Structure 1
Amino acid sequence: MTRCGACAGASFGSFFCAHEASISGVYPAEPVVPPQPTTIELEYCKSCGLIRQVPDRTIRLNYDRIVRGTAKQLPGYAEAIFAALPRLGVKCTDLILEVGANEGTFLRQLRDRGYHNLFGVEPSKGLADYSRQSGLDILDTYFDRKLAAEIRATRGPVRAVICRHTLEHVPDIFEFTRAIADVLADDGVSLIEVPDADWVVTNLFAHEIWDEHITYFRARSLRRLLENCGLRPVELRRMRFRDTRNLLCWSALAANPAAQAANLPDDEAGLDAVAEFQSRWDDFSHRLRNQLLVSPKPIVGIGASHIQLNFFNFAGIGDLVDGLIDDDETKSGRFAPLARPVPIRSTDQTLATMRQGTLLRTAFPYPSWEDRLEGALHGYGVASINPYGRQK
């Protein structure tokens, strides 16, 4: 048994198990037979509530080759992050490190605000090269305790570490977080931002489970991890972004006497709700499948990103979906590898040709897109189903 990376607990219960037939970011140009599905299996720590992929069945990715940028995913609350830096004593001349810098969007935002002693760590060679083209200082490697020691030896201690939507991808969260503590100056601060798994549990949003996410944090497990790695959480907030919610936690070194914690939130869902997630999802999926079996055909889903494909896979309805709608040029005109190859068409193509059938409102972060399609197709008698809501 691999102990919990957050609290070292040794007792786990089953959280979720489903087949995932799709590979993130792969959209064949021809209707090829999809690969054998991968089983994604999650368990939860009965002590701190951390959720993780089962260790001996973890899906591992090589981030050296991933070139998926995140420029379009900078949330509106980023301004609150920028405002927190001077409030926490970080000056424009201080050394700031971003771990998981991606294509450099956040570092460029910091530079635009006058911070000029910046550098990042990003394992993707392609994304690191892209960042360097805009003049950013990027180390294209994985962040660990060895690298943290090298940084302290060559650049000095870091005043602020920013780590946004990276920790959930890391196989060893304890050693990774220890590396953040290692690299911090005595008066340094760190920001950890991760998806809030309480949002998944309370809303039954299994589509937010992703093969690239190894660990799913809730407030208590994130605090336990930080505390066990020598960090003291001083601020912990829940922030909405589109149809999801994230945890943002500022921490200082536990040895820093000036680090004082405000009232920190606890988990919203109890362990009973976590333990019952699978059965609740199975009941939901059974009802949805029965509804689709008697719905007018073709059945067309909105969106072809990983959250939609995961939803169809996990709900066991990939064999019932006849088409998908997506305006991304890397997807439209191609096929989604569900239980069978499913064609992807643009919004305009769909509006011009769909005159019967059922529209699945699965563009979860984009309700206005759903409304536009539903409003335009309703006059032709196309039915609409909101999987998490009521039928229209």
Structure 2
Amino acid sequence: MQAVEVAPVDAIVPRLPWIRYNEPEGHLDKVAQTLMLRSDRNTPKTALGVGPFDEPLLARLQNLGCEVERLNLIGDAAPGVGGVGYPYLETMQARLRPEFIGQATSSLADIVVCRYLIEHSHEPVASLAALTQLLEPNGVLLIEVPDSEKFLRALDYCFLWEEHISYFVERTAKALAAQAGLRVERFHRFEGQLEDALVLILRRGEVEPLGTASPEDREVFKRYRTSFASRREAYRSRVASLAAKGKVALIGMGHQSIMFLSALGLHPYISLFVDDSPQKQGLRVPGTTTAIIPSADIVGRSDISACLLAISPRAEITVRAKLKPLSKKGTEILPIYAGIEGKKRLLEAL
């Protein structure tokens, strides 16, 4: 799945310096060991990273004896619209092109790492071509992207994001590599509760062209596209019923909660926006005039019917503990994610 229209880079440059993201790292010990055990038995000596999420893997490769280097894709990039902004992923993806890479560095490496950046690229084939320029003749390129299959099958619309241009599943990630003339030497899937991580180790070589999507993939996407209106109405009805009993709070104010709020048209029913990040508190939620408040401001209240959790599963235990005074009063604590298993969800599968 790929966005047809993309937001201009200048329009989405972060306006605040602390807007940064985190990506999973628990699988990287295995990834590093796999990269060092080359199939041709030549131990890699050098590794190069191109983005902010490569550092944890580079550190592991360095511990295993690799000499590592980081390519600065932002460099002297100008701020965004009106001279305001702090260039980040949107700027990095725009510079991940053969013409820029050729000017930015002459370094080549046995291993080139690019984690969680290709899905942001407006031209992913060109981005892979740029990364290939950085490889030694027998080098390998590692790319890691989020797998979209779980949220597509679960009909979860809060995972859509203006900064993600491509939404990969296993087949389409491999097809992209083939389009760029890269052979998949190894493929790994690392499971996550909401989305898996797809890791592809690529090498130059002859490739067999792959179709961009299988009939099953196309059917999954078709269902996702055609189900939006009915799911939106179901969510609106469910949250409206909660709002009729008291105030509804949305916990965790990031891009997924904003998409949940906006795409599903839930502004009329949610009156409290909560995040314990001091940097976010006091800021206004997009599309509203309501300021973000800390969880300490709501736990003593008795008029809250539901707290909707828009937080990562790894943070949920901590957040639920903070909200325990509310749950003791009968407040429902419900994850917004449709694909989460083993817990009571806001909207059960239809």
TM bracket (short chain): 0.7 to 0.9
CA distance in 1, matches of 2:173, 2:249: 38
Q: 3-state DSSP class of the match of 1:211?
A: coil
Query: What is the 5 A alignment of 1:11-30?
Result: none
Shift of 1:370: 4.9
Aligned residue in 2 for 1:383: 332
Aligned residue in 2 for 1:344: 292
Contact 1:90 1:160 in 2 (8 A): no
Shift of 1:291: 1.9
Q: Which amino acid aligns with 2:239?
A: L
Moved over 6 A (4+): 63-66
Query: What is the 5 A alignment of 1:112-151?
Result: 112-123=63-74, 142-150=95-103
Aligned residue in 2 for 1:42: none
CA distance in 1, matches of 2:36, 2:292: 47
Q: Which amino acid aligns with 2:306?
A: T
Q: 3-state DSSP class of the match of 2:66?
A: coil
CA distance in 2, matches of 1:315, 1:321: 12
Aligned residue in 2 for 1:311: 260
For residue 329 of structure 1, the aligned residue among 278, 281, 293 is 278
Contact 1:200 1:208 in 2 (8 A): yes
Q: Which amino acid aligns with 1:285?
A: R
Change beyond 3 A, Cα 1:358–1:205: same
CA distance in 1, matches of 2:292, 2:122: 33
Shift of 1:373: 4.8
Aligned residue in 2 for 1:222: 173
Q: Higher relative contact order at CA 8 Å, sep ≥6: structure 1 or structure 2?
A: 1
Q: Kindly indicate whether residue 139 of structure 2 is the aligned counterpart of residue 192 of structure 1.
A: no
Q: Which amino acid aligns with 2:97?
A: D
- Work out the percentage of aligned pairs sharing the same amino acid: 17
Q: 3-state DSSP class of the match of 1:376?
A: helix
Shift of 1:177: 1.0
Q: Kindly indicate whether residue 238 of structure 2 is the aligned counterpart of residue 288 of structure 1.
A: no
Contact 2:3 2:166 in 1 (8 A): yes
Q: Kindly indicate whether residue 27 of structure 2 is the aligned counterpart of residue 73 of structure 1.
A: no
Aligned residue in 1 for 2:341: none
Q: Kindly indicate whether residue 305 of structure 2 is the aligned counterpart of residue 357 of structure 1.
A: yes
Contact 2:170 2:198 in 1 (8 A): yes
Q: Kindly indicate whether residue 111 of structure 2 is the aligned counterpart of residue 164 of structure 1.
A: no
Contact 2:129 2:180 in 1 (8 A): yes
Q: Deviations over 1:208-235 (max 9, x none)?
A: 1111111111111111121121210022
Q: Deviations over 1:240-271 (max 9, x none)?
A: 3453222111111115xxx9xxxxxx979531
Change beyond 3 A, Cα 1:249–1:267: farther
CA distance in 1, matches of 2:151, 2:279: 28
Provide structure 2 residue ranges, at least 5 long, that are not aligned to the other structure: 78-91, 208-212, 339-343
Contact 1:359 1:382 in 2 (8 A): yes
CA distance in 1, matches of 2:345, 2:236: 15
Change beyond 3 A, Cα 1:69–1:84: farther
Change beyond 3 A, Cα 1:101–1:299: closer
Aligned length: 315
Aligned residue in 2 for 1:182: 133
Q: Which amino acid aligns with 2:256?
A: I
Q: 3-state DSSP class of the match of 1:244?
A: coil
Change beyond 3 A, Cα 1:298–1:205: same
TM-score normalised by structure 2 residue count: 0.78
Contact 1:161 1:184 in 2 (8 A): yes
Instruction: Single out whichever of 365-374 and 187-196 deviates more from structure 2.
Output: 365-374
Larger strand proportion of the pair: 1
Q: Deviations over 1:306-347 (max 9, x none)?
A: 111111111111232101221111112332123x22332212
